[in-house]
A and B are shown apart, each in its own frame.
Chain A
């Protein structure tokens, strides 16, 4: 141990300068210093950004806004953004009402702020150019089923919107802890069964949220069916479908979960599902087949095909007897009837037979899966952390 230490004023100055340099060069130190001071770094950032936003609006050159809202709308629709999406999910209704025939600069400014925030558009280009293009891709997008050129623009536009919702959800779930993911499917199944006893949508959502993964339900039609993101280390799954079948929601959620576990380790990456997911698809990419296999293994414990054949045998190869055969087989084995009915319907569809009418009659549809998924989400959302645009957009998206 030393007997004496000498620190000069110059040393103190050097230490202060080094601290400054470290604040400047890294992104990690600032939130640490902010938190040490007793501020919540996320809340303080929101406060600062909202001040900057109000200053930005207040000082914006007014000559920009001679252009009418209709012309702006035409430009964005031409770029692939659906008018329906803008009017129903992006611009709040109250603002939309004010835009009709209103020449006030501030109203247009506010509406344009929504378009810029969501679709990453350039303000100058939006206001001054003849046409605009969605040039920046929201994150490193992966399509394991390649989209056709015909809908690529639409998918790109909707991806911007969906990514905005995913990012906003991730931000609003800032209190959600990050937990270790299970090592394999058996560990994951054990986690769920140990707590809940059986596979249900509620049980699956609870288990997934406990891992620190956000699940967001969207109900818009078309464009794509589901997606998963890694937003700065937080995984977000978006489920987007019209059906009320719990079995389908569970299958899709498990499928997306596999992408999260296996394909989204890198920050700011995503997987987009362009078409409806099918447990028996055979012409998909390796990644899609792996994700299907994970979902099937989880639900059927690797015995989906054996069970399907058992049903057909019990039904004596007669479609009209298949319903009872499915019910009996599922009950004998101890799995849910709706899971097996769905698998059979997809299997038969693959072979050219439409058995969906019967399969649908065996589905569990209550309570509404959208409602169940939304309940888990809203429980974890902290709207206080969001700015006005984020808050309005997320509310419109999930309600």
Chain B
């Protein structure tokens, strides 16, 4: 069985995420980010941010609503139970703060087979309510035994 490549170039509808202070605080606590700028709005403002600011990797939280439908799309055909996350790249732009509305669009960049494994590469581009790019991600998922 070979990988299906019809989905290369497919773009999914944009998905939006409203950034709430509580989600930043919860995420920062889970990953051990104890810098007060991620937990205390006043501390973030004192450091020059508009509001409570998110650690860079919070991008996985607000990108997820756009990536989910892409990874689960039958046209892509990923065998989810045996999928592993093989690689990840993020390039950051504007910082994300509580109150932001982030819109993310996911695209399928590549699907290929190598050594009996399927490689599925997606790109995500996220922008805030001002149209400024906050992050660009390259997500590589690997499926064994395609």
A associates with B: no
